[in-house]
Amino acid sequence: MEFVLDTADLDAIKELDQLINVAGVTTNPTIITKSGKQPEEVISALVDYLKPEQKLFVQTVSTDLEGMLEEARYICGLRPENTYVKIPVTHNGLKTIKAAKAEGLGVLATAIYSADEAFLAALNGADYLAPYVNRMCNYGDGLGQVIDLIQMLEVQGLESKVIAASFKSVEQVHTLIAAGIQAVTVPPEVVRAMIDHPGTEIAVQEFTANWERAYGRKTLRA
Ligand code: G3P
What pLDDT, on a 0 to 100 scale, did the predictor assign at position 147? 98
Helix axis angle, 188-195 relative to 170-178, nearest 10°? 80
- For position 121, what pLDDT does the model report? 98
pLDDT of residue 48: 98
Residue 160's pLDDT is what? 98
Q: What is the pLDDT of residue 45?
A: 98
- Alpha-carbon distance 2 to 161, whole Å? 10
Tens of pLDDT, residue by residue over 137-187, are: 999 999 999 999 999 999 999 999 999 999 999 999 999 999 999 999 999
Q: Is residue 6 within 8 Å of 31, Cβ to Cβ?
A: yes
- Distance (angstroms) between ligand 1 centre and the Cα of 93 equals 18
Catalytic residue selected from 14, 55, 86, 168:
86
- Residue 208 pLDDT class (50, 70, 90 cuts): very high
SS3 of 210, please? helix
Give catalytic status of residue 86 as yes or no: yes
For 45-75, write each residue's pLDDT tens digit. 999 999 999 999 999 999 999 999 999 999 9
Residues near 148 by beta carbon (within 8 Å), at least 6 away in sequence: 115
Range 96-118 average pLDDT: 98
pTM of structure: 0.97
Residue with the nearest Cα to atom 10 of ligand 1? 166
Residues in contact with 41: Cβ distance below 8 Å, sequence separation at least 6, in sequence order? none
Reported as a single tens digit per residue, the pLDDT across 73-86 is 999 999 999 999 99
Strands 83-88 and 55-59: parallel
From 5, 108, 132, mutation site for ligand 1 pocket: most ligand atoms within 8 A of C-beta:
132
Sign of CA dihedral 187, 55, 132, 42: positive
Phi-psi region of 106 (alpha: psi -120 to 50; beta: other; left: phi over 0): beta
Q: Report whether residue 164 contacts ligand 1, using a CB cutoff of 6 Å.
A: no
Q: What percent of the chain has pLDDT over 70?
A: 100
Mean pLDDT of the chain: 98
Residue 212 pLDDT class (50, 70, 90 cuts): very high
CB 97 within 8 A of CB 76: no
